[in-house]
């Protein structure tokens, strides 16, 4: 099959709507993505055209999207681009639609707190979970001083992750 796969970065422009159909649960919302470019003549960023596209999310993605995103949220949508066509009084009409494979928050615009969907865990993930008398009391979202936990946290050799210092945080000019 030759799907046209796209990734679109934009903002949710209406409240997601969830419905149950014969084919499963579906959540729909509209997405707007506005291109921006730097205009050297005016020395400022200017808006280009806006892509308006309907997004449909099916089954497990449907429920997670309905519970996680709202109107105005900056999101990244990855999926198959299709064209929805219909007949109207004015004749044939069409508009773009994305059948989403994945939807997530745009972390360039803010922070998110991820909650793993327990029904989506593989059987081998359960075996990596902590066991013992304190396992049931372990918080899903521990504080910054909590010990790493196998099956939940990234744990690797010392030095695998680089630390930051003040020089790493200095502003850098954008390059065209």
- Beta-carbon contacts of 38 under 8 Å, excluding residues fewer than 6 positions away, are 44, 45, 46, 174, 176
Confidence of residue 119 (pLDDT cuts 50, 70, 90): low
Q: Which residue has the higher pLDDT, 91 or 129?
A: 91
Supply the pLDDT for residue 136.
47
Kindly state which CATH superfamily the domain 4-112 is placed in.
Nucleic acid-binding proteins (2.40.50.140)
Q: Which range, of 50-59, 103-112, 167-176, averages the lowest pLDDT?
A: 167-176
Whether pLDDT at 35 is above 80:
yes
Q: Average per-residue pLDDT in the chain?
A: 79
pTM (predicted TM-score): 0.64
Cα-Cα-Cα-Cα torsion 119, 123, 128, 130, nearest 10 degrees, comes to 50
């Amino acid at each position: 099959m030759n799907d046209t796969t796209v990734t679109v970065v934009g903002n949710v422009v209406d409240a997601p709507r969830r419905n149950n159909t014969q084919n499963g649960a579906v959540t729909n919302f509209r997405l707007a993505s506005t291109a921006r470019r730097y205009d050297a003549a005016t020395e400022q960023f200017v808006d280009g055209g806006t892509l308006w596209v309907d997004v449909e999310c099916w089954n497990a993605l449907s429920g997670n999207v309905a519970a996680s995103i709202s109107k105005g949220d900056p999101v990244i949508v990855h999926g198959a681009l299709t064209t929805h066509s219909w007949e109207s009084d004015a004749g044939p009409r069409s508009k773009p639609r994305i059948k989403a494979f994945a939807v997530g928050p745009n972390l360039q615009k803010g922070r998110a707190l991820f909650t793993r969907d327990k029904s989506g865990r593989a059987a081998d993930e359960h075996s990596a979970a902590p066991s013992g008398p304190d396992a049931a009391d372990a918080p899903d979202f521990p504080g910054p001083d909590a010990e790493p936990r196998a099956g939940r946290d990234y744990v690797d050799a010392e030095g695998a992750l680089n630390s930051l210092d003040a020089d790493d945080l200095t502003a850098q000019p954008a390059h065209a």
